[in-house]
């Protein structure tokens, strides 16, 4: 399981960013995005892509993608800097 951030690097305030999670697991996986908020993981949305529009410093932080199928679960994370 891997995460791609587009655009990569520092995200300029007011811009959009897409966090994409992918896995080559078989059977296909279900994706869930979480955000670490002061040590608590909060559900953001389901699906492989997380789009954040009009970014601002409140979006800064670590985001986790969970890929799950009947064989198990894999997690990966990315740090978003705005």
**pLDDT tens-digit profile of 28-73?**
999 999 999 888 899 999 999 999 999 999 999 999 999 999 999 9
Q: Is the pLDDT of residue 3 over 80?
A: no
pLDDT in tens, 42-52: 999 999 999 99
Q: How many CA atoms lie within 13 A of 1 on its CB side?
A: 23
| Total of domains in the chain | 1
**Cβ burial, residue 79 (10 Å; 0-12/13-18/19+):** exposed
Residue with tokens 């986790």: 64
Look up the domain containing 52 and give its range. Answer: 2-80
Residue 75 has pLDDT above 80, yes or no: yes
Q: What is the spatial distance between Cα 46 and Cα 68, in angstroms, rounded to a whole number?
A: 11
CATH no. for residue 26? 2.60.40.10
Q: pTM of the prediction?
A: 0.88
């Amino acid at each position: 399981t891997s995460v791609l951030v587009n655009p990569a690097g520092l995200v300029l305030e007011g811009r959009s960013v897409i966090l994409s999670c992918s896995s080559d697991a078989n059977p296909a996986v279900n994706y869930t995005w979480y955000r670490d908020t002061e040590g608590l993981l909060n559900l953001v949305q389901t699906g492989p892509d997380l789009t954040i529009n009009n970014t601002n410093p409140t979006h800064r932080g670590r985001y986790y993608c969970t890929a799950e199928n009947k064989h198990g679960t894999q997690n990966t994370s990315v740090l978003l800097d705005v």
